[in-house]
């Protein structure tokens, strides 16, 4: 992609716990990012007097013997980018302010308006790097089964019955009725039914599955939005080779 990148699956430098339960829930992430930046910069001993992270530790059971330390290791890059996994609208907005990039859980190039308010005023160089499963195959429905299995587990089983942030995200993306049905089936122990209840259209929008020509068309859709990098998971080397060729 011109000015954009396809990458193998990467590990984020930091992440949050997705929820949007209030400013206090976002404070630990801000403090955590500050600690990481000080460690990498190595300009001085790390000192953070935060509400959740204090270095040196100064809690009620502290010995008082702790002192600020500077890492012995010299990082090869003092400005290593910090990317956060964020899911709720306010967490995504905070990510644009305190991090160098964002790792979306689900990204549909056909529904970018879902994130429009949270991404308002992006600064130059900010990375948006969703993860997408890719598979070159002739049978699209069969190729989508692993995507649907992942979605069924996340939307149905990852969270409380009364509040599942993954299900809430799917609802914001236009699939509220389906999200609640998946959740209901999973919590009833009907896990295979929950997977089957995942709409093919939703699984298809957030992945790259099908014959080479179809994947090329879908990549063109991803290029039109604000995505800068694509973290690809693939089940076979052939799929990775095809993606590399399509990216040239």
Q: Which single residue is written with the structure tokens 């587990």? A: 153
Kindly list the distances between the CA atom of residue 248 and the CA atoms of 2, 6, 103, 143, 212, in Å, as whole numbers in the listed order: 9, 10, 24, 24, 14
Distance (Å, rounded) from C-alpha 7 to C-alpha 129? 9
How many Cα atoms within 13 Å fall on the side-chain side of residue 210? 16
First to last CA, the chain: 7
Is residue 210 within 8 A of residue 217, CB to CB? The reply is: no
Is residue 12 within 8 A of residue 236, CB to CB? The reply is: no
Distance (Å, rounded) from C-alpha 25 to C-alpha 13? 19
Work out whether strand 131-136 and strand 229-233 pair parallel, antiparallel, or are unpaired.
parallel
Partnered with residue 83 across adjacent β-strands are 101
SS3 of 133-202 = EEEECCCHHHHCHHHHHHHHHHHHHCCCCCCCHHHHHHHHHHHHHHHHHHHHHHHCCCHHHHHHCCCHHH
Q: According to the model, what pLDDT value does residue 170 have?
A: 93
Per-residue pLDDT of the chain (248 residues), as tens digits, is: 434 555 443 334 434 344 445 555 678 888 889 988 988 888 889 888 878 888 888 888 888 888 888 888 888 887 889 999 998 899 999 999 999 999 999 999 999 999 999 999 899 999 999 999 999 999 999 999 999 999 999 998 876 666 778 999 999 999 999 999 999 999 999 999 999 999 999 999 999 999 999 999 999 999 998 999 999 999 999 999 999 999 87
What's the predicted TM-score (pTM) here?
A: 0.82
């Amino acid at each position: 992609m011109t000015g954009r990148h396809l990458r193998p699956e990467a590990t984020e430098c930091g992440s949050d716990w997705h929820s949007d339960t209030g400013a206090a829930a976002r404070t630990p992430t801000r403090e955590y990012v500050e600690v990481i930046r000080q460690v990498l910069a190595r300009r001085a001993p790390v000192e953070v007097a935060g509400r959740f992270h204090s270095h040196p530790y100064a809690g009620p059971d502290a010995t008082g013997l702790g002192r600020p330390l500077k890492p012995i290791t010299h990082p090869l890059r003092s400005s290593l980018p910090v990317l956060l996994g964020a899911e709720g609208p306010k967490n995504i907005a905070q990510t644009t302010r305190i991090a160098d990039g964002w790792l979306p859980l689900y990204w549909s190039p056909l529904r970018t308006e879902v994130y429009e308010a949270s991404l308002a005023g992006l600064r130059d160089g900010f990375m948006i790097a969703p993860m997408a499963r890719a598979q070159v195959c002739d049978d699209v429905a069969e190729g989508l089964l692993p995507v649907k299995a992942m979605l069924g587990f996340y939307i149905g089983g990852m969270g409380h019955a009364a509040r599942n942030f993954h299900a809430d995200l799917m609802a914001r993306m236009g699939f509220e009725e389906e999200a609640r049905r998946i959740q209901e089936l999973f919590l009833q122990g009907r896990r295979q039914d929950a997977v089957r209840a995942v709409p093919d259209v939703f699984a298809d929008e957030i992945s790259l599955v099908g014959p080479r020509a179809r994947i090329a068309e879908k990549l063109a859709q991803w290029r039109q939005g604000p995505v800068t990098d694509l973290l690809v998971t693939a089940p076979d080397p052939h799929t990775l080779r095809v993606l590399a060729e399509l990216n040239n």
